Amino acid sequence: MTKFTPEVLLSAPRRSAGVPNADGSSVLYTTSTYSFETHAKTVELRSLDTKTQESRLLLQDNSVSEPLWLPGKKEVYACLKSEDKGKTSILISMIMAGSSWKESTYTAGSIDAPASSLKITQLSDDSYAVVVAAQSSPDGSLYNAETAPKTHSTGKLYKSLFVRHWDDYVTPQKNSLWYATLTRAKDGKFELSKWVNALKGAGLESPVPPFGGTDSFDVSKAGIIFVSKDPKANPALSTKCNVYYIELSSFTEDPAPKPFEYTTKGFKGASASPVFLPDAKKAVFLSLSGAGYESDKSQIFLVEDLKKDSVKRLFNQKAEGSLDKSPQNLVFSHDGKTLYFSAEDQGYGRLFALTSDPTSGEVLRALTDTGYVSDIHPLSNGDVFYTSSSLVDYSSYSIIGTSKSDSQAAKWTHSSSKDGSSLGLKASQVSSIRTPASDTTVNKTVHSWVYKPSNFEEGKKYPLALLIHGGPQGAWGDSWSTRWNPAVYAEQGYVVITPNITGSTGYGQAFTDAIRKDWGGAPYNDLVNVMDWVEKNMPEVDMTRAVALGASYGGYMVNWLQGHDLGRRFKALVCHDGIFSFAGGLLATEELYFPFHDLGGTPWYSPSANQTTDDAEQVFGKTRLVQRITRDWYIWKPAEYDNDGSRKPPNNWRSIFGGSVWEWDELTQEYYLHLFCPEQPDINWENEEARKTIYQSAMISWLDKGVDGFRIDTVNMYSKPVGLPDAPIKDPTAQWQDAGLVYCNGPRMDEYLGEMNAILSRYNAMSVGECPFTPDPARILGYVSEKEARLNMVFQFDSVDVGIGSAHRYMTTPFNYTLADVKSAIRRTQGLIDGTDAWTTSFIENHDQPRSISRFGNDSPQWRSRSGKMLAMLFASLSGALFVYQGQEIGMINIPKEWPIEEYKDVDTIGYYAEVVRKNPNDTKAHDETKAALQHLARDHARTPMQWSSQRNAGFTSESATPWMRANTSAQEGINVADETNDHASVLNFWRQMLKLRKTHAEVLVHGNFKLIDDDNPSVFSFIKTSPDTQSKAIVVCNFSDKESKLPTIDGLSSSNMLIDNISEAGTKDQSMLQPWEARLYIST
């Protein structure tokens, strides 16, 4: 008996789907056989007599393909034949007893290009319509790469995306459908007419690349129905395919009429498999609802009138509820009363029949129970011929009855492998197990196939091969594979288990959908459950000799296993073509819709946002706005009116969170001012009663309780400019303009701050104010000068504004700055105390800023800790009061790039993204850029829960609770207090060291004068601190780069002692070179 090996698998004949004639008496097919001796394949065209089971060789020729019976002819068929120089011929042949293929075959015509996807329909007794797919040039002419003029350059010019889909670069040539007629001549032979490009000038492409073929179109005597990518959609971001119909008066009509488009309201995904009904008056097709989701449930639509956009869902509610599956391979019975299709169902590819009952609507029946149906051909007597395979049989042809009285057993079958026996395989080797699902709200169990060796012996132990499928939306089915075939492993002595884990298809759409944004979650836990079940219930499996194997997503999961506990239970892990870097994977193609859907977005984009609207009425209540005696505590203004009489706000100021700063109150017929949210109206500080109330309620009451001071938000926004003038136009496309430089630092600011300081002084309390939009150092000095007695210090925004947009904070790109910008900003804030009586601050994070490591360092796992320590050294070495924001001390980073916009909760983020989408609904580039800016700069990054441990919710709250915002998953990557406390090399412990040194050397680190050196160095930030008595000096050197940099030449460096660096764990090194993200602190006294 043949032992089934990889060589046997690859050299076994590969039989095409069978093509029966109308009564099913004869079947056309091809076989392709690879020889390891000649390292070549052989293609045979054969016919099979279904009565005698005799297979007859018609032709052995590698250039022949796609045989089809001529409709209405039992013995005449056509096929394609590839010729020299890319030409394709249409051959006509007749199966005649006693005659050779050569004697009964002739060429009806040809097309001067490679062609495929042959379809033929009957127009009359002696005439047929023929359609093939071939490429066309931009002008609509036929394209043949072999005969096309050769250029002298291999360069390609692209003026827009989409450039490439995986390993295929987009070319000017497109797939087109070409039609002609096949007419019987006087000599009795058929002749082909001139070919016409059905899609010339339409801007459409069919079959849909890269995998489209005959399933992209259908042909009838009425014309051609086909699918094409939506030309209005961005192919990188959209899977949307539309269905079109070309009505033809004849198949010689030239040019072809303009295609008519059908619409599927609410369905934004791909459409496929358009099929005419036999009367050519109606059609059906499949469509997916989900935008950008290739594995959504296929749903059947009916075109009720080909000439009208009259499309409806075919299933009624009852029938669709019973079909939680995705139909494929649509085809009608000869009388048009039954629609047949196949669909994955619990590991099988079953054949279904859908008939219409006048009393109960559509009636759905499964005609097959096992195996995997791949092709369907209804016969004239009402039976159905289908092609299938199984886990032991690589090709089977069957005929099955379709009446309700017929059993599910086939009337006739023909197996090319004799049900697997010719390969040494048998059906008894295959069984199934059901193990607990990790998410029982979706499915209770996970189905796995078990494949044992053909010589399996009870009582003997066998090693385990756990095969993990790709997709991730895919499944192990009862089907044959020439790639990952379980039989190959079983016949080498393994017990093979192929689990259909979360995300698998054929087990309900919810189960398929559940893997979204959870690639390493539920699927991994399913595998854990499978291994636990096998260990407990299958004594024949030797768990000490287990191997896990997978390709594509299966390879990704193998990599995932390698980094998790389950991986320790395998002796070997085999990863084939598995993703280990999502960022790197995105460089392989411009197809973005897949990561958008499955991963929740790329590192810079998510395609949707939850737009929210705040209503001032909910906060104030319109009646109360009039009745309150404190109305004058707010800023009210009458409307302006343009020449058309339309109402306008008093000026063009944009709110911090988007939109106008003015909110209209219908009842009082005036606007009120809100620099922030509508529910946060600005206080009218010119109202003395309002100021006194604020001082009493917000200051004195707390000072009386013993507080030591205040951080005062937006301290320079209280006094507004006289007349509230318009802001300069920074963004000509925007209605509302950034006005921060207009409304900040108004004429009475010094007065108001003086009043506040008088109160604080009575309690010896400190003040630090937030001072945005203040580029003038003299204005800052006026606020914090000890002599002026207004504020003790302020947070200048110079450093945290580095890299933001000029017209809007988020109207920028990530890392849109140079190190020179950072140096200049810090020099300005440090220079505030040089020779003055002022005091400054050192900070780089707060509740309004993203995480500094992600913004100014490198938050990749390789460099996040070191760059975090570098930033710690930098800011702990600056003069002034040091402010460290929660999480900064452990090196918290921005939320993952793959998190969708729905995870962002800040009103600023949500409002800005929604506004961009509103203004640019179809501009995906604008959406991409906005998401990238938000992932870099949004305030949300500072507002995730503090990371105390690696537990769920990062230890911030109980694991069963739901915090206001999802905890950053970096907590599970070691960025948490518990893990860092016990790690001497952690960011947390480095901060502790720096704070001790800052206290020990306060004269130079806290109070020293700052001097920037080596200004022009693009990678290294160096400065000298000198104590006020000039007795101590500190030199700080920081390498802001992923690469090594040369240590700058600095006076006094050689005589200074290096007090601390951030790479001591790296061992010995060349002191003349700075390692990536290295920082050093030298002290000389």
Q: Which regions of 917-1031 does DSSP assign to beta strands (E)?
A: 1009-1013, 1020-1026
The closest of 856, 858, 887, 889 to 965, measured between CA atoms, is 887
DSSP 11-38: HS-EEPPPEE-TTSSEEEEEEEEEETTT
Q: Which tokens sit at 128?
A: 């047929």
CA distance 1009 to 835: 9
Q: Which regions of 283-395 does DSSP assign to beta strands (E)?
A: 283-288, 298-305, 310-313, 327-332, 338-345, 348-357, 361-366, 372-378, 384-389
1051 is catalytic: no
The CA-atom distances, in angstroms, between 674 and each of 33, 108, 682, 711, 717 are 76, 79, 5, 21, 11
Answer for the pair 743, 721: CB distance below 8 angstroms, yes or no: yes
**By three-state DSSP, how is residue 699 classified?**
helix
**By three-state DSSP, how is residue 801 classified?**
coil
Residue 421: alpha-carbon gap to chain centroid: 45
Answer for the pair 496, 489: CB distance below 8 angstroms, yes or no: yes
- Active-site hit among 713, 786, 837, 1015: 713
Answer for the pair 888, 871: CB distance below 8 angstroms, yes or no: no
DSSP 165-186: ETTEE--S-EEEEEEEEEEE-T
Cis status of the peptide bond prior to 278, with omega within 30 of 0: no
DSSP 432-496: EEEEE-S-TTT-SEEEEEEE--TT--TT--EEEEEEE-SSSS----SS--SSS-HHHHHTTT-EE
The CA-atom distances, in angstroms, between 399 and each of 29, 393, 414, 596, 854 are 16, 17, 9, 43, 63
Alpha-helix residue ranges (DSSP H) falling in 717-811 = 740-743, 749-762, 777-784
Answer for the pair 80, 89: CB distance below 8 angstroms, yes or no: yes
Diameter of the chain by CA atoms?
118
The half-sphere exposure of 968 on its side-chain side, counting CA atoms within 13 A, is: 25
Answer for the pair 333, 341: CB distance below 8 angstroms, yes or no: no
How many degrees, rounded to 5, is the angle at CA 831 between CA 825 and CA 833? Answer: 135
770 is catalytic: yes
Answer for the pair 198, 246: CB distance below 8 angstroms, yes or no: yes
Q: At what angle do helices 864-876 and 987-1000 cross, to 10 degrees?
A: 20
| Cross-strand partners of 842 | 882
- Active-site hit among 49, 375, 419, 770: 770
DSSP 1030-1074: SS-EEEEEEE-SSS-EEPPP-TTSTTSEEEEES-GGG-S--TTEE
Q: Which tokens sit at 522?
A: 């539920």
The closest of 275, 253, 286, 430 to 348, measured between CA atoms, is 430
CA distance 47 to 961: 67
CA distance 550 to 467: 6
> Counting beta carbons within 10 angstroms of the beta carbon of residue 270, is it exposed (0 to 12), middle (13 to 18) or buried (19 or more)?
buried
The closest of 411, 388, 387, 403 to 338, measured between CA atoms, is 403
CA distance 329 to 323: 15
Q: Which tokens sit at 1013?
A: 């050196």
CA distance 335 to 353: 14
Give the residue numbers annotated as catalytic, written as ranges. 713, 770
